[in-house]
Structure 1
């Protein structure tokens, strides 16, 4: 099989590899589609970060560079290992791509396995990846999805689960007003979850294409360009002077965080969804004097079933967020380069490792 493997900063190669071994408790998946994530771009430009190095194996997976990339993917089951009796060959599936120590409780009642020591992700920390034609995954992390959901849209379940977990962390309620800072993939998908729950959504975004996407897809009620609009003032106007009930920071840009702080109501909740590679110049006085509740969020925890239900029920349509489809050969020039240098022109670019359906 072919796979896109990361050898180090700026070095991704398409390699020929043996098909994975589908051992006991494992599910073999023919990968249909895999999304390119911002984390993949950071690894390419600045890594290794989540990825191990050539000399230091990941403490759980044991993997070293090179590793197969890709953690946002969907596919079709082609084999199941001994002991797997609740998934059948031919089923459509998505993967919750965790690498977590076997001693950690990952049961349905757990709320913190995603915070466990040495946690990492399939497609970053080893164990194959969605940018390979096939992968074998532990049954625990494989989630069946209805055939009524197209496999290209199913590849967005993973980032949608990030949005679902962030919304869950916020405590937002039906009828509340939310401000989302940044209409990239995670911002748009967080907004999709909010709208599905009956929340009024205001978005702040520089890119005209992404603002248009937010409005046309119906995930935002209002979308403003912060270069020409005082977003905080507009939010207060829309809420009778009160301010947003919740806000979601999805950019890791200081001025966006400052805007959210100004736009949120006293005792509102501000959720930081983005990964910050630097320290923030945070206004602690404003947080204290207005009793703002600041919360962090990372990935997801037992979020996939509820996220999948939102898509299967038709409450969320993922089709509008797919703005490009490519094969493995175009991964760097058509995929990475577009998202690094022209990210205002795209939302989610999907890769077909096999080239099927392109």
Structure 2
């Protein structure tokens, strides 16, 4: 059979250490387990009748095998595995290997019985790199391929979410511009509500979840012009073509011909994205903070920058979800006076902790417009940032703005406010803009703000592993959390 070599990750260096008997072996289990590992030898992966990749440790160097020897920095050099722990017990039947992944480290291996062999009492210990192996006593059918699977969130609609196994994705060689990113942080966004409580499950174009914020490490970058394997990146939600007039101007989210795919969505251990969507993340910025740059912090930052907010302004912010909290934090960082509104007491308190000067619950005020006029004083409200997506709040912002005031519609809404064109626009001459997402030019500015002390991570109230995704969505959309972040490798 033709041998082929599997391309590994960039971070692993050095030789491979495989116990000879740890791969599917037709000998008795006790004989296989007694084999000593051959350290420092090359390992080849062979394919057999589409039954997955099987490793055989061979005592050959690259030169002896008739190929060029490969150094530790060669892109296909294998990386060192730690010694595999001994397996206690015995099994009269054949055995095979199950591989579990951990971030930025080598594979931990757990050997299990291929069939439910009578008399099997193998007790596979947890690898130090995989302390919680998935289904360590699972029995594989005889024709089950040895695959390395990732975990991903699947949004089922009707407020349902589950977590499933998928084969690790690969870039599409036909496009030549896709990369695979190992997702280290994937925040939940309020715009995902439409997929979460929609009437049907996601599945169009093989997209299984609506995750679009994230940061991670490039795992596969075959022929990429912009990133290399091992690069730390922020995943921008837009996939720009790079040549239309909007992309040239830096407005990626307005691209006329967005290329590529985001499979299966950022709420996964690995995701396929267009290489242009990967923005570099500096080493001194955490993955969690970087994941907030694209949308949660980046979207209000773009609106605030376009409106020219300064320390002389009084700013009204309606809604204290993740976008509203980030807007509050940014305006406070710019020394603007901030008035925040929300009907959720928990999120209103989060706004106070993020630096709001005045917090008001509209449900407790008999006349909210009169109350805002009292707080703002004779100068009035200079800037309004509508982050709740509620039509009533949009109308309130238009009413509360002073003459020649500025306003941004940041929240995603399917309906709009009640507009009096004469009173709101003609006589007051206000300026209203919309903001859909951040621009790539905002990325370095946000990094600079974090280095100067912007506490972007303070808006995160819950960090949960990918297996807790159903609880995370219930918590987030139930209004019991501010910003929830999934950590796929926790």
Query: What count of residue pairs does the alignment treat as equivalent?
Result: 335
User: Structure 1 segments of 4 or more deviating over 6 A?
Assistant: none
CA drift of 1:136 comes to 3.3
Give deviations 1:52-92, integer Å, cap 9, x for gaps. x65xxxxxxxx2x45343111111233433244x6454443
> What's the TM-score, normalizing by structure 2?
0.62
Equivalent position of 2:292 in the other structure: 156
Residues in 2 aligned to 1:200 and 1:351: alpha-carbon distance in whole angstroms: 33
Between Structure 1 and Structure 2, whose CA radius of gyration is higher?
2
For the 8 Å contact 1:110–1:302, the answer to whether it is kept is: no
Residues in 2 aligned to 1:303 and 1:187: alpha-carbon distance in whole angstroms: 21
Equivalent position of 1:297 in the other structure: 435
1:6 and 2:155 matched = yes
For the 8 Å contact 1:232–1:260, the answer to whether it is kept is: no
Aligned in 2, Cα 1:20/1:304: closer, same or farther, shift over 3 Å? farther
| Equivalent in 249, 263, 270 of residue 110 of structure 1 | 249
Aligned in 2, Cα 1:274/1:322: closer, same or farther, shift over 3 Å? same
| Equivalent in 463, 466, 474 of residue 328 of structure 1 | 466
Equivalent position of 2:347 in the other structure: 210
> What's the TM-score, normalizing by structure 1?
0.82
Aligned in 2, Cα 1:315/1:47: closer, same or farther, shift over 3 Å? farther
For the 8 Å contact 2:246–2:256, the answer to whether it is kept is: no
5 Å-filtered alignment, 1:1-358, equals 1-6=150-155, 10=159, 12-22=161-171, 24-46=176-198, 54=204, 63=205, 65-84=206-225, 87-101=227-241, 103-105=243-245, 107=247, 110-117=249-256, 126-158=262-294, 159-218=296-355, 220-229=356-365, 230-287=367-424, 288-332=426-470, 334-340=471-477, 342-343=478-479, 345-354=480-489, 356=490
Structure 1 residues without counterparts, runs of 5 or longer:
55-62
Aligned in 2, Cα 1:83/1:324: closer, same or farther, shift over 3 Å? closer
Residues in 2 aligned to 1:327 and 1:193: alpha-carbon distance in whole angstroms: 28
CA drift of 1:95 comes to 1.0
Residues in 2 aligned to 1:277 and 1:312: alpha-carbon distance in whole angstroms: 33
For the 8 Å contact 1:204–1:231, the answer to whether it is kept is: no
Q: Which has the higher contact order (CA 8 A, sep 6+)?
A: 1
For the 8 Å contact 1:181–1:249, the answer to whether it is kept is: yes
CA drift of 1:272 comes to 1.0
For the 8 Å contact 2:207–2:263, the answer to whether it is kept is: no
CA drift of 1:8 comes to 5.1
Deviates more, 1:264-273 or 1:16-25: 16-25
SS of alignment partner, residue 195 of structure 2: helix
Residues in 1 aligned to 2:450 and 2:179: alpha-carbon distance in whole angstroms: 22
For the 8 Å contact 1:233–1:263, the answer to whether it is kept is: no
CA drift of 1:269 comes to 1.2
Deviates more, 1:139-148 or 1:261-270: 139-148
Give deviations 1:286-317, integer Å, cap 9, x for gaps. 21322222222211223442453244423321
Give deviations 1:186-241, integer Å, cap 9, x for gaps. 111122222333322211122222222222222x2222122334554444344431
Residues in 2 aligned to 1:66 and 1:299: alpha-carbon distance in whole angstroms: 20
Residues in 1 aligned to 2:246 and 2:403: alpha-carbon distance in whole angstroms: 36
